[in-house]
Structure formats: structure tokens, C-alpha cells
Amino acid sequence: MKRTCVEAVLLAAGYSSRMGELKPLLPLGGTTVIRRQVEMLQSVADRIIVVTGYRGEEVEHHLSGSGAYIVQNPRFGEGMFTSVKAGIRSLKPETDAFLILPVDYPLVTGRMIRQLLKVYEGSGDCLVAYPSYRMRKGHPPVISASCTRRILAYDGELGLKGALKAFDGFACYMETEDMRCVMDMDTPADYRKILAALAVG
């Protein structure tokens, strides 16, 4: 059986306005949020695309030598979905599936993504696979490359969530008790929770 070629799109373009500091460069686990994510994704993806925007040169310099492929999104100020589209447009033609991970979810593990990929690959007609924690969709979704045209064509107000709604009939879910797939980081209080969760393992 042919091995699935998987790319990862890591979204790191936002203003981090509610955090008050640049989220990708916040310290976490002896490194930074974004370095930790890139290193984790290297264990599950054939290539990592990091989409930058606000203070993009700073983020790119920080990732020098990491092996990540940097895409600058000049339209990042128009919202996260413009960064999703920028990442999708940078996928290689041979890519079979891709995952999308916002920098806001720094505790997602390679182990969970590997399990999610098994669910995706084992479900013959699945186009989008989600981790699910107690009936809540988590991150990252794994998306078939066959969905890219419709995602890029979507111009509704709901962003990625709205674009993926078209594939609800072909979605599959991996139930998990790992709540890290729903732990996001928008505010200093969220960041403190992330640090506390990391400390207890």
C-alpha cells in the first residue's frame, strides 16, 4: 500500500493582541511555542509549512535551521483563513493529505496525530478527520488534498470551519481523552494553564 504523503500547515501569522506578547515566541518546555510545534510535527509530516504574518521576519529568523518552509501571508490582517489559504496554496502536488494546526494549540502531541492519521487512512471514504474530546472537535484536522479546491473557493464568513462544513458527510472522528487537542492559548490566563498542564505532563 502506498504511504500517504502528509504535509503540516502551522498557522503563526496573527497579531497575538489578546495575549499582549507574540505567541509563537513565548517560552514553553525549554524552547518556544513554535519551535516545540515544529519539532513535534517533524515526527508526523513530510514537510512543515509555517505561515507567518505579523512580525514574520522575526518568526522566520527564530526558525532558521529548523527545516520548516516559511510562507509569508501579506493578507494576515484580514483573518486566519487567509493564512489557511496561503498554506494550502503552498502544498506540493504529490501531497495526499495535510493537517492544519494553529500556533494557539501548543500541547498537541505527535502521538495523537499519528493515531489520527491511522483513523483517517483506515476510513476509506473519510475526507476530514478530527480529534474529538468529549464531543468537542479538536485540532488539528487531517484533510484530504482533494478538498483543497473547494476550501480555496470558499469566501463565507465562517473561515475554515465554514469551508470544512461542505465535507461533514465525509468526516470521521477519533475520540480521545487527551484534552490537549482542545486547549488553546489566546490570553495570559490561557498561557498559564498551558504551562501548568505541561508541568504535570
DSSP annotation string for 27-79 = EETTEEHHHHHHHHHTTT-SEEEEEEBTBHHHHHHHTTTS-PEEEE-TTGGG-
| Of 199, 9, 195, the residue nearest 98 (C-alpha) | 9
Measuring CA to CA, which residue among 184, 183, 159, 187 is closest to residue 17? Answer: 187
Please state the rounded mean pLDDT for residues 169-191: 95
Q: What percent of the chain has pLDDT over 70?
A: 99
Averaged pLDDT score across all residues of the chain: 95
Q: Which of 8, 27, 25 is nearest to 67 (CA)?
A: 8
**Rounded Cα distance, 162 and 148, in Å:** 14
For residues 171-188, average pLDDT: 95
Q: How much of the chain, in percent, has pLDDT values that exceed 90?
A: 94
Q: Are 166 and 150 in contact (CB under 8 A)?
A: yes
Residues 6+ apart with CB under 8 A from 119: 126, 129, 172, 173, 174
pTM of the predicted protein model: 0.95
Task: Read off the C-alpha cell for 30.
Answer: 525549554
> Is residue 149's pLDDT more than 50?
yes
Over residues 80-131, the pLDDT tens digits come to 999 999 999 999 999 999 999 999 999 999 999 999 999 999 988 999 999 9
pLDDT in tens, 182-192: 999 999 999 99
Q: Note the Cα 67 to chain centre separation in Å.
A: 17
pLDDT computed for residue 1 by the predictor: 46
Q: Residue 4: what pLDDT?
A: 82
